[in-house]
Structure 1
Amino acid sequence: MSHVVIIGAGVTGVTTAYALLERGYSVTVIERQRYAAMETSFANGGQLSASNAEVWNHGSTVLKGIKWMLKTDAPLLLNPLPSWHKYSWLAEFVSNIAHYRRNTVDTTRLAISAREYLFAIAEREKIDFDHVRRGILHIYWDKPSFEHALKVNSLLSEGGLDRRPVTAAEVKSIEPALHGDFYGGFHTPSDSTGDIHKFTSGLARACQRRGVRFIYDAAVEDIARNETYSIGYSLGSPSDGGDTSRRTIEADVVVICAGAASRNFAGMLGDRVNIYPVKGYSITVHLDDEQSQRGAPWVSLLDDRAKIVTSRLGNGRFRVAGTAEFNGMNRDIRDDRVKPLVEWTRMLFPAVGTSRVVPWAGLRPMMPNMMPRVGKGRLPGVFYNTGHGHLGWTLSAATAQMVAQCIEQEFRAPERSAVPAVA
């Protein structure tokens, strides 16, 4: 009997559980939080964006990063304090500039294929996640940035994406609520947006109904290999009066989908998965009055200058997200990083009230080449689906299928059977 244990109940872990469930495997998901989708899959920018598939490994990104180093409100912020992990990751990031073109095209193709799976899952399981299918509009304030976008567009087109240049007048006609003096833009009609937390938690409930076991409040402490894998974890915490006794669960297959923590688990299993946590921020603006609801956009935006994205989450919420902060596993929500998001909202959408704004920060798990780590580990029965960076939700449904296919090639799915008991 092949029993698969997945570590992590974010969007990659839950979509992986679903893909394996569809193939007939017995699946258990272990998650350190009390519910699914409580970390990086909680309040991201909300975009399902093949149009944002350009990898960051470009000379212009490095130059901008150096220029922004001493500005606390810059779109990209690097804590200069020494860290071997950070600087070795950055060196590897720079070395992957040579693969910028290939990786951008490959990411575009992967993002397009992921749509089919994700939309089918949501329809089949009747998951309501505030899905809006009005495309994504990229806006540019000057000619040089627009001309760079033209070059990027050729790569996205090579990957199969229909992303169309639009004039400044067309920008305003596509999204009338938008205020600003723009040079031009690009519109991708096939992209869409939604609430990642609603999608992931809804899919987790669907998996649970169909037999996947979720163990929440479980901190994985070690993974040992004998004939099978023995995963040791503790439940709850002393502060909440929970049962903190040590437990173990046996697995034939282990899949690491643990976001920024995946690097540590990979180390337990003898693999090098060089993920760095790149912090991103978002604000959820509650549209509490009719004027704010009318003044907030329905078309999703990406402002290239500010590196900010938006999503409309139903009639009553507006999500604004952005920034990249290299500061290790720090999860602090800094006012000087949130403030630019609020000010940007006020500038571009003056009719939107910002009296009730909920800030959030999450750690994007990024590989130096900006490509997700999907596939086998060094040891038999170890697999990875992690490191998706800023495109976790966009790519998740496709990479879940990829890792499930890898597992299927080595471990044939058994007849449905009970999940082994927890020791």
Structure 2
Amino acid sequence: MTATDLRTAPTRVPVAREASTDAASARRGPLAALADAGLEVPVLGGGTVRHVNLDVAASAPALDAVAAHVARVLPYYASVHRGSGYPSQATTALVEDARATVARHVGARDDDLVVFTRNTTDALNLLASAVPGETVVLDLEHHANLLPWHDRRVVVGEGTISATLAALDDELGSRPAALLSVTGASNVTGEVLPVGELARLAHAHGARLAVDAAQLLPHRRVDLAASGIDYLAFSGHKAYAPFGAGALVGRADWLDAAPPHLAGGGAVESVRVDAVDWKQGADRHEAGTPNVLGIAALARALVELERLGDGPRREHEAALTARLHHGLASIPGVRVIRGFSDADDRLGIATVELERGSVGLVAAALAAEHGISVRAGRFCAHPFFDRVATRANGLRASLGAGSSADDVDRFLASLARLVADGPAHAYERTPAGWCPRVDDRPRAVID
């Protein structure tokens, strides 16, 4: 494929005054200090540019406060729950305080468990082992919330949220299910689902509700008790704590009756040659030495998100999201993918498909020539993407607390030029994806 494969009719390049008429939006800078702020990356032809990270829906950089917290607690790192020394006591307190912080942040009920996991996928796989019956899911789910369920029934979403709720109502009414498990917000379109309504719907049919909050929680405050959610799964690496920890929060009875997620030390009351007495509660599923630093980072990230405030976070993101979508609408040959025509709330995510050319090539050129990180593909949501898209793959830009109006404008201008004129350098498709034919950038290594 050559640069000409990406050409369309001449196009206007979106600029700040076209992307938004809101003066506050035009001046909007980052809401929070992140570890990647000011990062310079090399580009083809020599030199560096400030990196624009529009791939935060995949993995978000650490908040500065989170990175600083990890550095402070690192000298005290020691064994948890079993050591007699002061560092061990401090580490144990760190983990248990983090558990309380997570429970408070998500509005857990007094008898809910907080089980620390590796990530959302790990948390949902744990829950899948505990469900005493069938699980109903939507086809719009991330694979993490589609594949783990042993006995699942998949409901194909409709063109509106209201019609999709009706389809779920019909499915749950047709045959009993133990669990309805849905995403809180699509990682493809950013559209937010009404989790409170879904909880009421599930409970009306005798089912429980689990929510994959990997995308939702970093952008919206979630309250289990207030909304009626029974189980919540989420990851630190999408919530500005990329240190390898996640959590499953929810009702204890299923989890206490489930087989231990991992068999090993810490999950047992006693072990004999011919029998094991397993613990109840979170310990039952947290065998082995926990990811202390990841857990500490996750809890601190939630505290920092609270300090930023729900209102300012939503205002910041709404302004930049409107700016992003307005600019995309002005680029010929670009179509924004939507799942629901009646969705009135969406996160800072926009996935587009091109009338001509390869989104993989565009993503490679955005990175190599412009220092802009996005994501190309089907975003681990293949059934949903195949239903709502007309092309094989899409290009996703995602915003966060560290994003600015300048980030959005650089992306829009660069995308418009690439769609109109193609890349400035030659690329070839390799097993690793699209790569510059001649790459004069320094090798991406960190000493």
TM-score of the aligned structures, taking structure 1 as reference length? 0.22
* Higher gyration radius (CA): 2
Which one has the bigger strand percentage? 1
TM-score of the aligned structures, taking structure 2 as reference length? 0.22
